[in-house]
Amino acid sequence: MILLAVGVFTAIGFKIKWQETANSVKNANIYWLLAATISMLTAHYLRGWRWNMLTEPAGYPLNKTRAFYAVMIGYLVNVATSRGGEFVRCAMAAKSEKAPVPTLVGSVVTERIIDLLVLMSLCLLCLGIQFQEFYGFFDQYIITPVAKYYTPISLILLSGIWGVRYLKKRQARNPKTDGEPSLFEKFSAGLQSVLHLKQPLIFILTSFCIWFGYWLSGYCTLKSIDVTQHLTLANALGVLIFSSLGVIVPVPGGAGVWGTVAYGLTLIYGLPEFHANTYGIFTVAFSNILMIVFGALAYLLFFLNTKNANELKS
């Protein structure tokens, strides 16, 4: 995956006008970047808070501060591994909160399903306010692929549901005598936690606020450099969707985001290719720097916080 990321960065790098890119980056507005940073960190804090809402019904409430640190550590790992951060944050939280890793992993899977639903609603909003610009894009890259793979995806989902029901019935026929939940039961508890939320409306509101934070951060990043400062809040929503599609591609370092954002800016908003590539490399570099700096800081604070909490318990 790292070699693939290097290949993607190299291929796009040949299209960059590096001198013009350097000038745009050098003249970036620090205040817009600060606002983008605050918006992004707020969204990540809300993600940790929402995670606690999911684990609490399963019987493992998380410390909100340490949950935020674990989320940031996960993003730090994602810079290099693309998906490994999801498991790392579960391992970190399991260590500090004494919660089973399978339950935490199940809650993260639920998180991603909720995120997908929120993203779909944002796609509809984007299509509604920018129909003329986006219909062709949505038809080619979202509607048609979904329709094409609807049958196999449906079969996979039905097979998964059948598999879960079969395992539950099998466990009911052969109950464990030691009282210890099985690996499947622990994972299932995290997966189904969304069905037992104490405050479902706050959970839904928090989910949308997380994505609003991403949207606002993207808008501030667009405003920070001269080649994209003319773009609007509505355009920023489109860029958020481009970047989300790039995140789906399992390539570390944000290589997928770079490609989809640059392509979308050129295809949909008619931005010159070298300007789109400038923003693509700028936003990926800015995001990676944030994740490395604040992820490393979160790791230190997580270690100190966990140590203090253990000392207080003893």
- At 71 the pLDDT is 95
- At 193 the pLDDT is 78
Residue 120 Cα distances to 10, 18, 123, 260, angstroms: 32, 35, 5, 17
* Predicted confidence pLDDT, tens digits, the chain (314 residues): 555 555 555 555 556 666 666 766 778 899 999 999 999 999 999 999 999 999 998 888 899 999 999 999 999 998 877 678 889 999 999 888 888 888 888 889 889 889 988 988 998 898 888 887 777 776 666 667 666 655 565 566 566 556 655 665 666 666 554 556 666 667 777 677 778 888 999 999 999 999 999 999 999 999 999 889 999 999 999 999 888 877 766 555 456 676 778 778 888 888 888 888 888 888 888 888 999 999 999 999 999 998 887 777 66
- At 152 the pLDDT is 67
The answer to whether position 147 is within a domain reads no
3-class SS shares of the chain: helix, strand, coil, % to 5 = 85, 0, 15
For residue 11, the tally of other CB atoms under 10 A from its CB is: 11
The answer to whether position 2 is within a domain reads no
- At 142 the pLDDT is 65
Q: What is the dihedral of CA 259, 263, 264, 269, to 10 degrees?
A: 140
Q: Are 259 and 242 in contact (CB under 8 A)?
A: no
Domain that holds residue 229: 17-122+155-313
The answer to whether position 140 is within a domain reads no
- At 73 the pLDDT is 95
- At 207 the pLDDT is 95
- At 307 the pLDDT is 84
Q: For residue 147, give both structure tokens.
A: 């329709």
Cα(58)–Cα(192) distance, integer angstroms: 8
Report how many domains make up the chain. Answer: 1
The answer to whether position 11 is within a domain reads no
Distance of CA 280 to the CA centre of its chain: 18
- At 149 the pLDDT is 59
